[in-house]
Amino acid sequence: MKKFTLGHSKEEVFQLVPEKVIKKVILGETSVAIVRIGKTFRTFQAFCPHRGASLIQGTINSSGEIICPLHQYRFDLETGQLRSGYCDDLAIFPNELTDNGLEITIP
């Protein structure tokens, strides 16, 4: 496992990731999507496991799910569990907001 830190402070991370705006970052060789809902950050694979559509172009619904723009498959952003559609679950990456930024762990 490898840890990466986004930003240098909590305040900077909140500025880098506006509320419900999906951002893409490259951590090592892994493309990761980040979204903030309130004070909670969700980090997950940037591409749909079904057909590889970019989830950066997806939408977040009121149930805390990301909706793939290609076939409207829905994934729970907390667990990665597929809620609608037929494919593998979404990979979720643990993260922690610290005084030194957002720490993201990639397996």
Q: What is the CATH number of the domain that holds 24?
A: 2.102.10.10
Give the chain's mean pLDDT: 96
Please compute the mean of the pLDDT values over residues 52-60 and round it to a whole number.
96
Q: What is the number of structural domains in the chain?
A: 1
Tokens of 21: 């705006």
pLDDT of amino acid 102? 98
Please compute the mean of the pLDDT values over residues 1-5 and round it to a whole number.
96
What is the distance in angstroms between the CA of the first residue and the CA of the last residue of the chain? 4
Please compute the mean of the pLDDT values over residues 34-61 and round it to a whole number.
96
* DSSP 3-state of 56: helix
pLDDT of amino acid 5? 97
Please compute the mean of the pLDDT values over residues 19-28 and round it to a whole number.
96
CA angle 36, 87, 44 (to 5 degrees): 20
pLDDT of amino acid 105? 98
Q: Which of 9, 55, 13, 15 is nearest to 31 (CA)?
A: 55
- Its domain, for residue 72, covers 2-106
Percent of the chain with pLDDT over 90: 99
Phi, psi of 24, deg, nearest 5: -110, 135
pLDDT category of residue 61 using cuts at 50, 70 and 90: very high
pLDDT category of residue 11 using cuts at 50, 70 and 90: very high
